[in-house]
Homo-oligomer: A and B are copies of this chain.
Amino acid sequence: MSQILLHRVLPFSKRLMSATILPGESVVDATAGNGNDTFFLAELVGEDGKVFAFDIQQAALEATAGRLGELTSRVNLILDSHADVDRYVNQPIGGAMFNLGYLPYSDDKSIITKPKSTIQAIHKLLGMLKKGGIITISVYDGHDGGKEERDALLAYVKTLHQADVHVIRYELLNQRNNPPFLVALEKVRDFEEVVRVD
C-alpha cells in the first residue's frame, strides 16, 4: 500500500497542526465535542503544554474528560462559548481547531455552533496566534443552519488581507456521506488585531 497524499479532511487538519504546534505551547480546541481533537492536541503539546478546550454542553466536556484519561492534567475544560476565549486564554497560542455543527451522537442536534460566535472566536484567536500558526475549521453544512454558518464564515475569511493571513479551502470532491470541508488560516505576519478589508 503506497502512502496516501491527498488525505481526507480530518487527517489533513491534524497534519497541519502536527507541522506547526511545538511541545510546551498553549493551544485551543474551540469545540471539544467528544474529545478526539482535545486528546490529539494534548499529545502534541506534551506535558509542559496546555490545551484550552471549550464546549457549551456539559455532556461534551464529560465525554472529553473520559477520553483524556491521564492527559487531563494538560487540559483546561471550559464550559463556555469559544466566543469568550479571551476571558480564559491570556497567552500566545500555537494553534486552534474547530469542528462546526452539532455534537456528534447527540440526541439534541438543535444545539449547534452559530455564525456570530464562531467568527468572534476565530477573530480573537487570530490575534493570539503565533506567526506561522494555523487555525483549522472543519465545516459541516448539511444540518439546519449549516449553510448560513458556512456562508458567513466564507464571507468573513475573504475580508482578511493576504499579507496577514493565508486562507485555504480544502475538500474531497468524490466522497460519499457528506464529509466536511476544511477552512484553514495561517498567520503569516505578526499582529495583535487583524485588520479586516471590507
**A contact residues, total (Cβ < 8 Å):** 36
In the complex, whether A2 has a CB less than 8 A from a CB of chain B is yes
Number of copies: 2
A158 to B, closest residue via Cβ? B174
Given the known interface contacts A5-B20, A162-B176, the answer about A169 and B170 at a Cβ–Cβ threshold of 8 Å is: yes
| A binding-site residues for B, Cβ under 8 Å | 2-6, 8, 16, 19-20, 131-132, 134, 154, 157-162, 165-176, 183-186, 188
Cα A8 to Cα B8 in complex, Å, equals: 19
Interface CB pairs A-B, < 8 A, 28: A4-B186, A4-B188, A5-B16, A5-B19, A5-B20, A5-B134, A6-B16, A6-B134, A6-B167, A6-B168, A6-B185, A157-B174, A158-B173, A160-B174, A161-B174, A162-B172, A162-B174, A162-B175, A162-B176, A165-B174, A166-B172, A167-B174, A168-B170, A168-B171, A169-B169, A169-B171, A169-B173, A170-B170
